[in-house]
Amino acid sequence: MRDQTRIADLLRQNAAVSVKIEEPMSRHTTFGIGGPADLFVEVNDAKNARWVLSLLKEHEIPCMILGKGSNLLVSDAGICGAVVKYCATGIECCGTSVVAGAGVSLAKLATYAMQESLAGLAFAHGIPGTLGGACVMNAGAYGGEMKDVVVETTYLDSELKECVVRGEEHEFGYRTSIFKKKPPALILGSTLKLTKGDPEEIRAEMADYAGRRREKQPLEYPSAGSTFKRPEGHFAGALIEQCGLKGLTVGGAQVSEKHAGFVINRGGATAQDVKCLIEQIQEIVLRETGVVLECEICIL
């Protein structure tokens, strides 16, 4: 990007905005992979986020929104333009409804709900993303998904107009939503409808899921979670294991020995290593089983 210093200076006129130049994305993805973003902007509230986005738009700077980077593979060349991290983390509760900013982590949100004796979010506790990222992806685990709890979402559309989607308008499906199909400029926050529950039971449920994750998933290595979507009638990990691909390695990227559905960064993996490994897995699984594996991870 040619005038990144000038744009950074313009953004820095607003004290509520933090700006870095050439910020390595490896610091902001759970894979620990990714080259520099020309501009890395952090902002905490809707008013200043809209100001940032309108300034970037005015200067025709391409822009992507980052949550916790837990579902992303960012290229080694980095990101041309701006990465905006929306850090609004407020949570409010009214009866069995919870209203939260898109930047809040699912762990914090699920813990808050438990403390308020509200059930329905235990499934989300171990998913290492934000509410915003989880709404885009319709994140889910252990039989629960965002679809079950999110009733309303506020976002800025491409013209930076504040809009609301409710209920079925979210078009939630398996790891998808209206936001995946028609990316908004920014998701600001959501309202979740939960049910009354017993905090001790919710705590036990969360502990059970955490134990299952520790036992089955390679949490000791950086990754972006399940690499592939679940193909209809199959499990991606089982197919990959059946093809003898556990441990298959390209550079620093490896098919986890613990769970074949995860590609992990064994140390020093590049995005190119991961991409190459993903392509090899897809090719071999298709040849050996006839099943097409579709990536769940967003590749940038």
Ligand X SMILES: Cc1cc2nc3c(=O)[nH]c(=O)nc-3n(C[C@H](O)[C@H](O)[C@H](O)COP(=O)(O)OP(=O)(O)OC[C@H]3O[C@@H](n4cnc5c(N)ncnc54)[C@H](O)[C@@H]3O)c2cc1C
Binding site for ligand X (CB under 6 A): 30, 64-72, 86, 102, 127-130, 132-134, 136-137, 139-141, 184, 186-187, 219, 223-225, 298
Strand partners of residue 164: 154
Q: Which of 23, 26, 175, 205 is catalytic?
A: 175
Q: Which of 177, 190, 223, 226 is catalytic?
A: 226
Residue 223 Cβ vs ligand X, minimum distance, rounded to whole Å? 5
Q: Give whichever of 55 and 73 is closer to ligand X, judged by the CB atom.
A: 73
Nearest position to ligand X, beta carbon = 67
Which residues, including other chains, have CB under 8 Å from residue 97's CB and lie 6 or more apart? 151, 191, 192, 193, 194
* Buried-exposed string 73-86: b where 16+ CB fall within 10 A, e elsewhere: bbbbebbebbbbbb
Could you tell me how many residues make up the chain? 300
Q: Give whichever of 284 and 298 is closer to ligand X, judged by the CB atom.
A: 298
Annotated catalytic residue 70: no
Distance between CA atoms of residues 289 and 212, nearest Å: 28
- Residue 121 identity: L
Annotated catalytic residue 22: no
Residue 9 Cβ vs ligand X, minimum distance, rounded to whole Å? 25
Residue 197 Cβ vs ligand X, minimum distance, rounded to whole Å? 21
* Buried-exposed string 159-181: b where 16+ CB fall within 10 A, e elsewhere: eeeeeebeeeebebeebebbbbe
Annotated catalytic residue 226: yes
Residue 140 Cβ vs ligand X, minimum distance, rounded to whole Å? 5
Q: Which residues are catalytic?
A: 175, 226, 296
